Amino acid sequence: MDAKINQQDANAYSTPKETSSPPWWFQYEELTRAIESAHEIKIKNLINALNHLHFKNGHLYILLHHHKYKEDIPVKAYPHICTKTEITCSWQNDAMVNLNIEAYQFKHAFIEDGQSIILIPAILQKMDNESCRLQLPEISYAVGRRRFARFACQDITSELLQSGLIARGELLDFSPAAFRISIHKDASNFIQWFNPDVVATIHLIHRQNIVFSGACRCIRQQKTASHVEFVFAPSVNAISRFKAREIRSPRLQITPPPTVAFEHPLCNKIIQREIFDTSAGGFSVMEKAGEGVLMPGMIIHNLTIMYAGLLEITCNVQIIYAKEEQQQVRSGMAILDMEPADYSRLTQILAQSVDPLLCITGKVDLDALWELFFESGFIYPKKFELLEPYRKDFIKTHQKLYRQDSDVSVCVTYQKSGRIYGHISMLRAYEKTWLVHHYAAQAMDNKHTGLKVLKSLLFYIYDIYRLPSANMDYFMAYFRPETKIMDRFLAGFARSIANPKLCSSDLFSYIPFHAQFPAAQLPERWELNASSDADIWELEQFYNNASGGLLMDVLQLRNKTSTDTSVGKAYQRFDLKRKWVAYTLSYKRNARAVLIADQSDIGANLSELINGIKIMVMDNDELPWDVLSTAVSQLAQAHYLQNVTLLVYPSAYMEDKNIPVGKRYCLWAMDIQCGEEFLKYMDTHFRFGLKQ
């Protein structure tokens, strides 16, 4: 075949004089000379192809030759139903109405499918300004085959940016190797100043969503009567979507393989592919070389992952690389976002492909869970004594949390034959913070089930935090400082990183408090009011000097004028409650303490650490305990809580006032951005085997 016809990759692009013309219109003489090496198509198959065109409202081209000007003009035509050897085709939008049809001679018809042209040496039977009728030949020819198929596009806006300049246009067509955009000549300054030798940034936009963004090089440009057309190719075959990691989530090949289905953002075709391998952060698919539709930098919204014909998971992804492997192209997709419940389903598939006894879900057999809690000592006699008055509410809360997939809770269990041996769970406690609230385990066949569920949860967190829908900027936990294993896990990491703005551990006194109803009045000149922004600013200054940790970042009290938060709305969807409000206790209008009333359903946390009052004492010497306890009773009465849990910071306040303290809790918080450092720490000190 002539070299001009068999162009490879992006170099196959040529541009028309008008955007309505096919992009290789001037090559048809070469195409007719390529028939000797072309693939033959019998009339039966041609008729099927024409009827398929008619079925999908597709078009073919009729090539007309002008007698006087010796010019070849391709005109779009729409085929009617074809049952015999003749076919009638109507012109596009009355294209021939104002033309002198006698000035043109029919040459042939052809079908362009993006990767090749079917040349149809038909015989003209009749032609007028409305249609033409053709006698189909016994043999037609597939010629001009390209390495990559090209697809026509509609309603895709383009933005071309280079060195501070920007021009908007539209995408005409694309292949995985290159794409063609058209810019109106009104953008004259840009066209004059555009430097084709310098890489440009291209944005492609569909339905107000960016569906491609990347650095591209200009292959060629050509002017038409009203536009300038540019052909661009991505300058790299891989992009760096996220920061490189030393520890990566396991990438697995699952049998049977899941499949993905999506509407292609550039050509609006429904595409379906098998997943080659996958992890919680992304996956790859294989395409036959020359039949690919994926391009690095392309963003796909509402892609569906389907598994075993039953489970469907929706996510947004971006193509981050394309590699040729043995006549196939492997394209990697990074997950940009998905709902937490969908993420749990994906990690469940992955976890059970590694260990069938691992389960990551929002649904748990509660009877098996209670059995674990009592047998492992997680619910010990003293704790059960405190829970007993609220046992029914406690069970009801857990039925809501653990019998449905949700975006406010997740749990990992290790179970066999209906019995749970290891369990760890977490709740979305604040706007951007998740709390580990249950962790219980007992040995099973000499397996350390506690470490197994902890490792699985760490990997769960490791990938989900990058998803905007997860609302996970911080990760927190409460633990008793005398619990050596938790001190090594959590406080040990805080000590090793030595930066409280990345990981902090604050000690609180824990007191079960019985409020006095009706509450007494505060002494004269003492006031308890909703905290103002000025009060929160002062609290932040106190805390930053006392600790320098992350608690204020976790609570996000500044400008929080309403209890109607996004996390509160998320809990409401499952008939649960979650809110927190700050109040300032002041003397002569000088803040002495801030009381943060946390409210959640009874039993959401067994020690009621998110269903009580956090007290931040800002002036130890000037705050008598009797005044503070009166303020607590007033606040408890306002929130209908006679028995309330108090967490007091700094812990030394209670000792200074000679108030008996039952327990102390450390509130540990970590900026999730240093999650990899945390995994490295766990891997080094506890041999988790996290590095793949």
What pLDDT, in 10s, does the model give residues 339-356? 988 999 999 999 888 889
Give me the residues paired with residue 271 across strands.
262
Model confidence pLDDT, tens digit, residues 111-161: 886 667 888 999 999 998 889 999 999 999 887 655 667 788 888 999 999
Rounded alpha-carbon distances, angstroms, from residue 143 to 15, 24, 41, 114, 125: 19, 13, 11, 12, 25
Triad 484, 489, 490: Cα angle to 5°? 100
Q: Is 286 exposed, middle or buried (0-12, 13-18, 19+ CB in 10 A)?
A: middle
**CB half-sphere exposure, 472, CA atoms < 13 A:** 29
Contacts of 495 (CB under 8 A, 6+ apart): none
How far is Cα of residue 352 from the mean position of the Cα atoms in its chain?
22
Say how far apart CA 617 and CA 652 lie, in whole Å. Answer: 10
Sheet holding 409-416, edge to edge: 358-361, 409-416, 419-430, 433-441, 474-479, 663-671, 503-514, 643-649, 612-617, 590-600, 578-587, 526-530
Per-residue confidence at 8, pLDDT binned at 50, 70, 90? very low
Helix (H, G, I), strand (E, B) or coil at 257: coil
Tens of pLDDT, residue by residue over 587-622, are 999 999 999 999 888 877 777 788 899 999 999 888
pLDDT over threshold 70, residue 440: yes
Q: Please tell me the least confidently modeled range out of 115-119, 269-273, 278-282, 323-327.
A: 115-119
pTM for the model stands at 0.79
**Separation of alpha carbons 7 and 145, rounded Å:** 8
pLDDT at 25 over 50: no
**pLDDT at residue 24 tops 50:** no
Identify the band that residue 33 occupies on the pLDDT scale cut at 50, 70 and 90.
low
How far is the C-alpha of 435 from the C-alpha of 654, rounded, in Å?
Answer: 26
For the chain, give the mean pLDDT. 85
- Print the SS3 string covering 560-626: CCCCCCHHHHHHHCCCCCEEEEEEEEEECCEEEEEEEEEEECCCCCCCCCCCEEEEEECCCCCCCHH
Task: Look at the block and give the residue holding tokens 């899941």.
Answer: 258
Using pLDDT thresholds of 50, 70 and 90, give the confidence band for residue 1.
very low
The structural domains of the chain, ordered by start, are 9-143 (2.30.110), 151-234 (2.40.10.220), 259-338 (2.40.10.220), 354-462 (3.40.630.30), 503-672 (3.40.630)
